[in-house]
Amino acid sequence: MSGFVEKPEPVEVPGLVHLHTGKVRELYQNAAGDLVMVASDRLSAYDWVLPTEIPDKGRVLTQLSLWWFDKLADLVPNHVISTELPEGAPADWAGRTLICKSLKMLPVECVARGYLTGSGLAEYQESRTVCGLALPEGLVDGSELPGPIFTPATKAEVGEHDENVSYEEVARQVGAETAAQLRQATLAVYGRARDIARDRGILLADTKFEFGFENDTLVLADEVLTPDSSRFWPADEWQPGRAQPSFDKQYVRDWLTSAESGWDRRSEQPPPPLPEHVVEATRAKYVEAYERLTGNTWS
């Protein structure tokens, strides 16, 4: 079982057509035909969208994405048109709403990895490969890879796992030329972001991008380099051979799998609401990621 514990009702705004409720974002179309992307405070873990929201998460993720888009603008065009609130939108959409180009999205999660963990580690332990790419012997959880690698995944529906696929499979799905462009752009953006994060004492272990086409131009879309789409590790605590502390929802995941939550991940039951201390600690992690990366104070 998985999906939404409680499916949210999208807000109706005159002049906007609601298109889709994503795990975290609500998508609308405005009268000009542009995409209105509203980031909620929802959080997903273990393929569930949890029944408890994390205050400010939508704004933190939106502001962090905007900061990165700006840092990356010379490498790849992005989908942001403006941050102006659509007329008639609720005031609480401010800071978490982006007007974006409506792109023809590619059905590929473009993942770059500089370190080994998560699904990459699981595949490595089986076969010494990640997405079919051969890796050296002796790597452990958290090891730095010899160089960053492109490890694409297919995009899953709500409640399904994304599945790692080979580069050849991506080329079959989107064509060889587009696959090459995706790999090139993903690794270029990862390299830039990794260097920026490292200067701020943060290791960018891995991250996921989504791209779409505007006519024939490949454009960086969705959110970028947030704690939801990336693994950020404090550099001074990095220690290969164990799970790394991180600036994301690890606190939630640890609590959900602890005895205190009373939840069995493998049961048919939806996860329970989060207690206040888990909400607060998670909000603090997201804010800390924003502040450390951007150097700005969250307000």
* Chain positions contacting ligand ATP, by CB under 6 A: 22-25, 27, 35, 79, 100-103, 105, 158, 210, 212, 221-222
Query: Shortest gap between Cβ of 61 and ligand ATP (angstroms)?
Result: 10
The nearest distance, CB 55 to ligand ATP, in angstroms, is 18
* C-beta closer to ligand ATP: residue 5 or 133: 5
Helix axis angle, 167-174 to 176-199, nearest 10°: 130
Number of residue whose CB is nearest ligand ATP: 22
- In whole angstroms, give the CA distance from residue 285 to residue 289: 6
Cβ-Cβ contacts under 8 Å for 267 (sequence gap 6 or more): 1
Place of tokens 């909000």: 283
DSSP, residue by residue, 160-204 = S--EE--HHHHHHHH-HHHHHHHHHHHHHHHHHHHHHHHHTTEEE
Nearer CB in complex with ligand ATP: 78/117 = 78
Q: Are 114 and 144 in contact (CB under 8 A)?
A: yes
Instruction: Between 208 and 285, name the residue whose CB sits nearer to ligand ATP.
Output: 208
Residue 211: which of 232, 230, 183, 191 has the closest Cα?
183
| Tokens matching residue 21 | 């409720």
Q: How far is the CB of 7 from ligand ATP (least distance, A)?
A: 12
Min separation Cβ 39 and ligand ATP, Å: 8
Query: Residue 69 or residue 167: which is nearer to ligand ATP going by CB?
Result: 69
**Smaller CB separation from ligand ATP, 193 or 224:** 224
Min dist. Cβ of residue 44 to ligand ATP (A)? 7
Which residue is associated with the tokens 């969208």? 49
